[in-house]
Structure formats: structure tokens, C-alpha cells
Amino acid sequence: MATDALIERILAASDGPSSSAIDALHELLDDAAIEASAMPKSVAEAARLVGLSTHTLRYYEQEGLVRPARNASGYREYSAFDLRRLVFLTRMRLSGMTMTDLKRYILLVEQGPSTIPERRRIMLDQQDRITRQIRELGLALETTEYKIRVYDGHPEG
């Protein structure tokens, strides 16, 4: 499936990750599924597609997280590979991964398969942080729901 369609499917999942959105995410993260014939996107098109500002895309480029090609006029052109990397970056940032960790991870990716054990360690550490964050958010939701129930019994607040 085209990168654009996969990204839109993921971002349209408003009620949480459905099996369809998760399947789309897995396909996006599989470099073997990248379509070579996809037309590159301008910085504005790429920003719209992945839900980031053009400023953020330029910042990610400045930090070495993504390296879009330049066309003959010098404008950035985001390939399907670049767009897929941006999806990964946005998911990791949303989950609280630091820029330092992201830069380290991308550097390791670019060094090749010999760095897989270290990349796996980074992802395991991130998984632990996300799991803890989910537990904390669950408690925050429970606290909020409790207060709503209390206020339902006392309309004056």
C-alpha cells in the first residue's frame, strides 16, 4: 500500500489503535514495503501528511534525523523512506523519547546491522518508559473519573 495511504490510516484512528491502524503502522515500519515509484513530497506536503510543522521537519533535518534529497531547484523532496522515518520519529517523540536518544538511535541505524543489539536496548528502554507512562496515565484517568463521580453527587462542586 502507498505510504501516503498508510500514514493517513494511522492518523485517522481517533479512538486509539485499531488492528487496521496497527497493521498500517507495521507496514510503514517495514523498509521492504517502500514503494520506489512514489512521487516525493515537498516540505509542506510532507508536514501536512505526518502532522508536523515545516519548522519541525527542518529541525529534524538540522539534527540529522532525516535527510531529504534536494531537487534541481534546491527544494527538499521527501521520499517514501523519509516519510516513513518521520512516522517513526513522531511516534517516538509522542512517547517521550528524547532527542538525544533519537539521534543516537538514527546514528546506529545508519551504521548498519552490526548495531542491532544496541538499537534493541534503546527500544527496550523506551518500552519500559512507555509502560510506566501508561500506568501513570491510567491512575490519572482513574483519579479524574473519581472526581467526576464525586461532583455528580454535589452539583455545586
**pLDDT tens-place values along the chain, 157 residues long:** 566 677 776 666 655 666 777 777 777 666 666 666 678 889 999 998 888 999 999 999 999 999 999 999 999 999 988 998 998 999 999 999 999 999 999 999 999 999 999 999 999 999 999 999 999 999 999 999 999 999 987 766 5
Is residue 59 within 8 Å of 95, Cβ to Cβ? Answer: no
Is residue 95 within 8 Å of 130, Cβ to Cβ? Answer: yes
pLDDT at 112: 95
Q: What angle do CA 57, 108, 23 make, to 5 degrees?
A: 65
pLDDT at 7: 72
Q: Give the single-character DSSP code of 123.
A: H
pLDDT at 23: 74
pLDDT at 25: 72
pLDDT at 98: 94
Q: Give the single-character DSSP code of 96.
A: T
Q: Which amino acid is at 144?
A: T
Q: What angle do CA 12, 140, 86 make, to 5 degrees?
A: 35
Q: Give the single-character DSSP code of 32.
A: G
pLDDT at 142: 95
pLDDT at 154: 73
pLDDT at 56: 95
